[in-house]
Amino acid sequence: MNTLPQQLANGLLLGSMYGLIAIGYTMVYGIVQLINFAHGEIFMTGAFGAFTVYFYILPDGTSMAIAVPLMLIGGGLVAILIAVGAERFAYRPLRGAPRLAPLITAIGLSLALQEVVRNFYPGADRAIAFPGLDTTHDIGSVTIKDADIFLILAAVVCMAALAFFVRKSRTGRAMQATAQDPDTAQLMGIDTNRIIVIAFAIGGFFAAVAAVAYGLKYGNIDYRMGFLMGLKAFTAAVLGGIGNIYGAMLGGIVLGIAETLASAYIDGIPGMQQLGGQSWANVWAFCLLILVLLVRPQGLLGERVADRA
Amino acid sequence: MTGIGPVEPVNSPETNESHDTIGTDAPHLTDRIADLWAGLTPRTRTAAIATAVAGAVAAAATLIPQVSGDSESPAPVPWPANVTTWRYLGFAAPHNSGATSGRYHFAVTVDHGPPVTLRISGTAFPGLTAHALPEPAFTVAASTTRKITVRISVSDCSELPLNADLPFLDVTLRNTRAIQHHSFIFGGTFSRDLSVLLHGACDRAADGPGPRPSGSANSQHVDGVEIPPNRPTAPRALVRPPRRHNKNVTSELAAMPLSAYRA
Amino acid sequence: MRRSLVILTSVLATGALTLTACGSRDDNGGGDSAGGDTTTLTIGVDAPLSGENSTTGLGIQYGAQIAVDDANKNKLVPGVTFKLKAFDDKAQPATGQSNATSITGDKTAVGAVGPLNSGVAQSMQQVFASANMVQISPSNTNPELTQGKNWQTDKKRPFKTYFRTATTDELQGSFAADYAINGLKKKSVFVVDDKQTYGAGLAKIFTEQFKKLGGKVVETDHVNTGDKDFGSLVTKIKNSKADLLYYGGQYDESALLSKQMKDGGVKIPLFGGDGMFASTYIEAGGAATEGDLATAIGVPADTLPAAKQFIETYKAKGYKGDYGAYGAYSYDAATAIINAVKAVVDANGGKVPTDMTDLRTKVVDEVQKSDFQGLSGKVSFDEYGDTTNKQLTVYQVVKGEWKAVKTGTADLN
């Protein structure tokens, strides 16, 4: 049996999820040069928001066709609220402070969000079962399930909408301008604070979409799910060229496929058995990151820009 | 006035202020009850005392037997598997290397609780059968140890691993509490002794009249004698003999039934 | 400048997030009401109380808590009030080691119960041995802990202060292999482990025994603790045509693996060890876990009449976690320490020895001599510090609950 198509599909799915989260890192970085390390936790709270809608608000036995959009709205609202709140109360007061200050704030915020969820969300000290979309389909030698289809569709739709928004809409162009030069943009009459809030909100919503997809795919969520996913998504953003939204998605997909193929095939290479398998996937993914950064320090799609600092 | 400070003494010398001690002007609850009691007529008092005493006696009569019943009853009846131990003693009878069955002695002890009836329902592998001699079922009373003999027969060499480390006996145990299916697992000595039987029965079949397992010499030993290890586990054991059937089929081996605990 | 910031940030963040809150949580429920002449002695508990493995870890904490409460209530040792002090090791060896140091540094501590994970135990043993303080684990199953690195050929006890009320993986792995071959009639297995001391050790023993019994190990792989996506691994399992997946590790990963495997169209059962015998496994994996199996130490708690009271107390107090896997063993471990203190006090004319070092040493000796009826059966230790009560059970998920399908008792002489 040829497993390559299936493994590519696995990688693409994982990568789409990384990509959706990476958008949040890359947009915020592109506009305020802040690495929002709490973004992984925003992803996590999005999952809990969606779960709350499903478990506490919707009546039992709601069809998933109705539940999923409502979960997206609920999770999205929670994630946007927290992302925007973080911007307003944690990062804005530190605007203009040395760069390490907001960075450390972000790390603190990330821990705080984890602990708040663990301590105050009922049952969150252990994994919580999330409703799944588990019907499977065989397409040739590839088996995928409904949750995977949802993830791919969500990634494509989100990406297309974002591209359209950034290129065509007034706000989107204002966003590009702010990214290019916030001071001049402000002089030209752009409300940069509004633009920053919008960037955080879009990042939060995309994280929530990824979170719902995560829950549907893996069937459970826990308060620490944002840590590893956030770190991987950040890696994807750097790999694709931080600041570039297409780069984030591309970086995510490259990272996902690289991880999957490494864990699938490296131990089949003679003499490499010890360095293959699932447990080495992260090692190979980061090797790839180092290689790419050596050759293209600005990332796959990043532009070489003169340092502003 | 900060509002924070040491508590002022109630009878401070420089008192002009009045101290309100909460509850001083209200009579104590006990005083009120005493007053109430004193206000009752002697007849009523007697009646109240009588009622209280009767109530207490009734309560004690209903509660005490329960309490003492709980605390005095010995530990509840244990499940049979938790009080039964098996210990391997050794070969029961010499058997030559070509034999397809062997007899082994075990000591079965029941620690406490009601007597336990045991029946051997199987052994480690399909292809082996086991039953106790002379009766398939036997009973062991509490705090006693009974020596029993188990006959193990090889019925089919094809599926038998010859050097299994931890062979076991599947036993059905029954006492007044439950019926349990339980495995008793044996280490070192029994696994070596069983291995002698398996090699004797199956190597011959597989290899033709080839070299005998040297361990068969030890099979002259009987009960309780420490049997020295046989040769180290041979790689040959991994070679699967061709499928052969029906060497002395003693009975059909049924699959282990799922455990059915019954209260 | 900006790029170096990104790199610095990554390094910083990775470091900072790895060291998240390595604190310890104190939880002394006993409460020493007594004044006067009573001496308060502390028993430490170390287990993962938050995050990974915490379901079973909390079962250990509260199992010991109930033992301490019972001892205080029944005045088991006159003049001594026991206090439980719980430490959270987050399943991290380094945290476990620092907790062990805290426990041995406590002037009132006489012994410790825990940890949950064999890998954590390895880092704690030396600390307790140096302090001559008894440590009893209710759940460590790796044979090396009591029988030394070369336990298969040359058993040698490394630490005389370490005991356990759990049986070893030598038995567990063999029991599982036997059930896979003879009970489930499975012939080819895919073995996965999490590279931890416990998981890798168990998987290795299972592999050896499974081969010995005539089974075939078609492929092996390893995962990292904390992994969430097993898509690639599932495809490999599918391709291998194995009819059973054996997993050495904890429920956190195996529940996800089982779900993703079944969703990926691989309808074979997952079989694991006591590390995944927890209600959380079924909750986290959902319906996909139906038919999965796990071996666990001991016999089902509902066949232990003595444990009935314990379970009722556990539920009545509303304790979190799962007592099913190790609760009764934790209770017995704590009771073994308490009984040892009693023996020392009795031998000393009813007084607690004033010299703490002396008391700790004597308690180690008395624990070695333990012989009493605990919740899980007879509690006594052999010359390696292993329990003599070697019982095992195979459980299977039936209609969303762990059901015992086979029980066994071993006599390894």
The verdict on a CB contact (< 8 Å) between C413 and B261 is no
Structural domain contains residue C376: yes
Question: What angle do the packed helices A192-218 and A4-32 form, to 10 degrees?
Answer: 160
For C:131-150, CB contacts with A below 8 A are none
Percent of chain B exceeding pLDDT 90 equals 1
Q: Which residue of A has its CA nearest to C53?
A: A126
Instruction: Name the residue with higher pLDDT: A294 or B66.
Output: A294
Looking up tokens 């939060």 gives A204
Chains C and A touch (3+ CB pairs under 8 A): yes
CA triple A100-A106-A112, angle to 5 deg: 140
Residues of B with Cβ-Cβ distance to C306 under 8 angstroms: 75-76
- Quote the CA–CA distance of A247 and A6 in Å, as a whole number: 24
Residues of C with Cβ-Cβ distance to B184 under 8 angstroms: 408-411
- Shared-domain flag, residues C34 and C158: yes
The verdict on a CB contact (< 8 Å) between C405 and B188 is no
C115 upstream amide cis, omega within 30 of 0:
yes
Mean pLDDT in residue range A12-19: 95
Is the Cβ of C409 closer than 8 Å to some Cβ of chain B? yes
- Shared-domain flag, residues C140 and C276: no
Closest Cα in chain B, distance from residue C403 (Å) = 9
Q: Is A296 exposed, middle or buried (0-12, 13-18, 19+ CB in 10 A)?
A: middle
Instruction: Name the residue with higher pLDDT: A305 or C113.
Output: C113
DSSP 3-state of B183: strand
pLDDT at C29: 38
Q: Is the predicted pLDDT of residue B14 greater than 80, yes or no? A: no
Structural domain contains residue C8: no
Distances (CA, A) of C341 to B11, B102, C132, C135, C159: 51, 49, 14, 14, 20
CA triple C334-C335-C339, angle to 5 deg: 125
- Residues of B at the C interface (Cβ-Cβ below 8 Å)? 75-79, 81-82, 84-88, 111, 124-126, 159, 161, 163-166, 168, 178, 180-189, 237-238, 240, 256, 258-259, 261
The verdict on a CB contact (< 8 Å) between B184 and C407 is no
Task: List phi, psi (to 5°) of C293.
Answer: -130, 155
Q: How many CB pairs under 8 A join B and C?
A: 107
Confidence of residue B75 (pLDDT cuts 50, 70, 90): low
Q: Which residue of C has its CA nearest to A138?
A: C265
> Which alpha helices (DSSP H) does C351-401 contain, by range?
356-368
- Shared-domain flag, residues C66 and C161: yes
DSSP 3-state of C154: coil
CA triple A290-A291-A292, angle to 5 deg: 95
Q: How many CB atoms lie within 10 A of CB C125?
A: 20
- Quote the CA–CA distance of B193 and B187 in Å, as a whole number: 10
Q: Is the predicted pLDDT of residue A17 greater than 70, yes or no? A: yes
Interface-testing mutation among C171, C209, C303, with chain B (most B C-beta atoms within 10 A): C303
The verdict on a CB contact (< 8 Å) between C411 and B85 is yes
pLDDT at C201: 92
> Which alpha helices (DSSP H) does C192-266 contain, by range?
197-212, 231-240, 251-263
pLDDT at B213: 40
Give one DSSP letter per residue of C33-80, joined into a string: ---TTPEEEEEEEEE--SSTTHHHHHHHHHHHHHHHHHHHHTTSSTTE
The verdict on a CB contact (< 8 Å) between A218 and C259 is yes
Question: What is the bridge-based pairing of β-strands C39-47 and C109-113?
Answer: parallel
**Is the Cβ–Cβ distance between B86 and B108 less than 8 Å?**
yes
Q: What pLDDT, in 10s, does the model give residues A205-232?
A: 999 999 999 999 998 898 989 998 999 9
- Shared-domain flag, residues C57 and C78: yes
Is the Cβ of C184 closer than 8 Å to some Cβ of chain B? no
The verdict on a CB contact (< 8 Å) between C284 and A127 is yes
Range of the domain at C35: 23-167+304-381
Q: Quote the distance between the C-alpha of residue A217 and its chain's center.
A: 15
Q: Which two tokens stand for residue B146?
A: 């009974």
Structural domain contains residue C113: yes
DSSP 3-state of B212: coil
The verdict on a CB contact (< 8 Å) between A219 and C6 is no
Instruction: Name the residue with higher pLDDT: C368 or B96.
Output: C368
Structural domain contains residue C405: yes
- Shared-domain flag, residues C241 and C252: yes
- Shared-domain flag, residues C161 and C173: no
pLDDT at C17: 41
Chains C and B touch (3+ CB pairs under 8 A): yes
Burial C249-259 (b: 16+ CB within 10 A, else e): bbbbbbbbbbb
Q: How many CB atoms lie within 10 A of CB B23?
A: 8
- Quote the CA–CA distance of A222 and A51 in Å, as a whole number: 11
Closest Cα in chain B, distance from residue C361 (Å) = 32
Residue from B212, B209, B213 nearest B193 by CA? B213
Mean pLDDT in residue range A118-126: 85
Residue from C359, C305, C355 nearest C77 by CA? C359
Closest Cα in chain A, distance from residue C222 (Å) = 5
Is the Cβ of C401 closer than 8 Å to some Cβ of chain A? no
**Is the Cβ–Cβ distance between C160 and C361 less than 8 Å?**
no
Q: Give the residue ranges of chain C where pLDDT is below 70.
A: 1-37, 413
Q: Which two tokens stand for residue A109?
A: 């915020």
Percent of chain B exceeding pLDDT 70 equals 54
- Shared-domain flag, residues C230 and C347: no
The verdict on a CB contact (< 8 Å) between A125 and C255 is no
Q: Which two tokens stand for residue C386?
A: 């292993």
Task: List phi, psi (to 5°) of A94.
Answer: -100, 5
Question: What is the bridge-based pairing of β-strands C372-374 and C377-379?
Answer: antiparallel
Query: One-letter amino acid identity for A13?
Result: L
Residues in Cβ contact with A116 at an 8 Å cutoff, skipping those fewer than 6 apart: none
Partner residue facing C409 (CB), from B178, B182, B258: B182
- Shared-domain flag, residues C175 and C156: no
Helix count (H) and strand count (E) of chain B?
3, 8
Q: Which residue of B has its CA nearest to C411?
A: B186
Is the Cβ of C214 closer than 8 Å to some Cβ of chain B? yes
Is the Cβ of C408 closer than 8 Å to some Cβ of chain B? yes
Residue from B118, B143, B120 nearest B130 by CA? B120
- Quote the CA–CA distance of C157 and C172 in Å, as a whole number: 20
Instruction: Name the residue with higher pLDDT: B225 or B170.
Output: B170
The verdict on a CB contact (< 8 Å) between C410 and B186 is yes
Looking up tokens 């970085």 gives A29
Is the Cβ of C209 closer than 8 Å to some Cβ of chain B? yes
Is the Cβ of C406 closer than 8 Å to some Cβ of chain B? yes
pLDDT at B30: 64
Closest Cα in chain C, distance from residue B26 (Å) = 33
Is the Cβ of C259 closer than 8 Å to some Cβ of chain A? yes
Structural domain contains residue C3: no
Structural domain contains residue C217: yes
Residue from A35, A49, A176, A5 nearest A109 by CA? A35
* Domain CATH for C131: 3.40.50.2300
- Shared-domain flag, residues C122 and C80: yes
pLDDT at C246: 97
pLDDT averaged over every residue in chain B: 66
**What is the number of domains present in chain C?**
2
DSSP 3-state of B181: strand
Given CA atoms A146, A147, A152, A155 in this order, what sign does their dihedral have?
positive
Residues of C with Cβ-Cβ distance to A5 under 8 angstroms: none
> Which alpha helices (DSSP H) does C290-388 contain, by range?
307-316, 323-347, 356-368
Closest Cα in chain C, distance from residue B235 (Å) = 10
pLDDT at A216: 93
For C:46-85, CB contacts with A below 8 A are 50-51, 54-55
Looking up tokens 């050929």 gives C153
HEC profile of B17-85: CCCCCCCCCCCCHHHHHHHHHHHCCHHHHHHHHHHHHHHHHHHHHHHHHHHHHHHHCCCCCCCHHHCEE
Kind and range of the H or E run holding B105:
strand B101-110
Partner residue facing A127 (CB), from C14, C17, C280: C280
Q: Is the predicted pLDDT of residue B72 greater than 60, yes or no? A: no
pLDDT at C363: 95
Residues of A with Cβ-Cβ distance to C256 under 8 angstroms: 218-220
Q: Which residue of C has its CA nearest to B192?
A: C413
The verdict on a CB contact (< 8 Å) between C373 and B165 is no
- Shared-domain flag, residues C186 and C147: no
Given CA atoms C88, C91, C95, C97 in this order, what sign does their dihedral have?
positive
The verdict on a CB contact (< 8 Å) between C2 and A308 is yes
The verdict on a CB contact (< 8 Å) between C174 and B166 is yes
**Is the Cβ–Cβ distance between B152 and B196 less than 8 Å?**
no
Q: What pLDDT, in 10s, does the model give residues C187-243?
A: 999 999 999 889 999 999 999 999 988 899 999 999 998 888 999 999 999 999 999
Is the Cβ of C354 closer than 8 Å to some Cβ of chain A? no
- Quote the CA–CA distance of B189 and B187 in Å, as a whole number: 6
Closest Cα in chain A, distance from residue C214 (Å) = 25
- Quote the CA–CA distance of B39 and C52 in Å, as a whole number: 69
Structural domain contains residue C1: no
pLDDT at B71: 43
Task: Report pTM.
Answer: 0.77
Query: One-letter amino acid identity for C246?
Result: Y
- Quote the CA–CA distance of B236 and B73 in Å, as a whole number: 57
Q: Which two tokens stand for residue C176?
A: 């599982």
Q: Which two tokens stand for residue C228?
A: 């969430």
Is the Cβ of C278 closer than 8 Å to some Cβ of chain A? no
Residue from C48, C55, C49 nearest C283 by CA? C55
The verdict on a CB contact (< 8 Å) between B82 and C303 is yes
Partner residue facing B81 (CB), from C174, C175, C407: C407
Question: What angle do the packed helices A225-240 and A4-32 form, to 10 degrees?
Answer: 80
The verdict on a CB contact (< 8 Å) between B166 and C171 is yes
- Shared-domain flag, residues C178 and C252: yes
ipTM of the complex: 0.83
DSSP 3-state of B129: strand
Q: Which residue of B has its CA nearest to C376?
A: B82
Please, which chains are in contact with B (at least 3 CB pairs closer than 8 A)?
C
- Shared-domain flag, residues C192 and C252: yes
Partner residue facing C50 (CB), from A118, A298, A308: A118
The verdict on a CB contact (< 8 Å) between C411 and B78 is no
CA triple C366-C115-C84, angle to 5 deg: 65
- Quote the CA–CA distance of C60 and C164 in Å, as a whole number: 13
Residues of B with Cβ-Cβ distance to C171 under 8 angstroms: 166, 185
Q: Which residue of A has its CA nearest to C261?
A: A218
Q: What pLDDT, in 10s, does the model give residues B105-139?
A: 889 988 888 899 998 888 867 778 888 887 888 89
pLDDT at B125: 74
Residues in Cβ contact with A29 at an 8 Å cutoff, skipping those fewer than 6 apart: A35, A36, A237, A242, A243
Q: Which two tokens stand for residue C354?
A: 């004033």
DSSP 3-state of A88: helix
**Is the Cβ–Cβ distance between A41 and A230 less than 8 Å?**
yes
